[in-house]
Amino acid sequence: MTDALSALTRSAGQGGGPPALPVHVGIIMDGNGRWAELRKKPRSSGHREGLRTAKTLVKAALDLGIKVLSLYAFSTENWKRTGEEVAFLMDLIGRHLKKEEKFYRENRIRVVHSGDPAGLPERVAGDLGDIRRLTAAYDGLTVNLAINYGGRDEIVRGVNRWLKGREGGESLTEEALSRCLDLPDLPEPDLIIRTGGESRLSNFLLWGSAYAELYFSDKLWPDWTRSDLEEALKFYAARDRKFGGLK
């Protein structure tokens, strides 16, 4: 940990102020394809490199004391890509889930899933279910894999869940809808990071990110390192979060 970030971490909670570190960080891991194209390589090589980067940043988040890390791995819009690329990504996700079970166990990482499993290939949905069950009792970092995920889709599915359990003339409230989203036990994201030079949320955690701090980086995802994460955390620690009110 850099000296500057270490100082911010030590100051967390002092003087009654907000913690210097976010509890929940979401990352839009953008730029894998462009990373490969810049090197005259197939897009698949960028996705493989991006997966290695994700593992490095998961370990960094664990070491730094972040409690929840949400990774945008495959959106509901990504089905529009070529059949070849989609098939490669689904195979890569499935193989990664099985391969990294030891890593999750050794680091007591709990894996959860945001998104609609019904739209995934049966094997991938099964692998996701298996890793969720195997890691359910772990008490370290929680890694939320957003696969076949879209923020609008999550809200629509949440409303439909609420309608099924609705009693009488009950009205929908923010609290009721929050309880019907994919992972109601997780805290809302404090910090959303997007790599790759784009400055938009692209349908990621739309409900929960209403008051999240947003950090945009020009660096392509496969080039990210622990130091880049630390820079984003320093940015977050310097923010004055008022949530629409006054201090």
Cα 116 to chain centroid, rounded: 15
Side chain identity, residue 241: R
Q: Which two tokens stand for residue 159?
A: 């409303």
For residue 86, report the phi and psi dihedrals to the nearest 5 degrees.
-60, -45
- Those residues with Cβ within 8 angstroms of residue 3's Cβ, 6 or more apart along the chain or in another chain: none
Nearest alpha carbon to residue 197 among 221, 165, 180, 233? 221
- Those residues with Cβ within 8 angstroms of residue 68's Cβ, 6 or more apart along the chain or in another chain: 23, 24, 25, 141, 142, 144, 186, 187, 189
Is residue 78 flagged as an active site residue? yes
Side chain identity, residue 231: E
* Per annotation, catalytic residue among 30, 153, 182, 228: 30
* Per annotation, catalytic residue among 63, 78, 153, 182: 78
Residue 31 — left, alpha, or beta (φ > 0 → left; ψ -120 to 50 → alpha)? left
Distance CA 46, CA 91 (A): 15
Catalytic residues: 30, 78
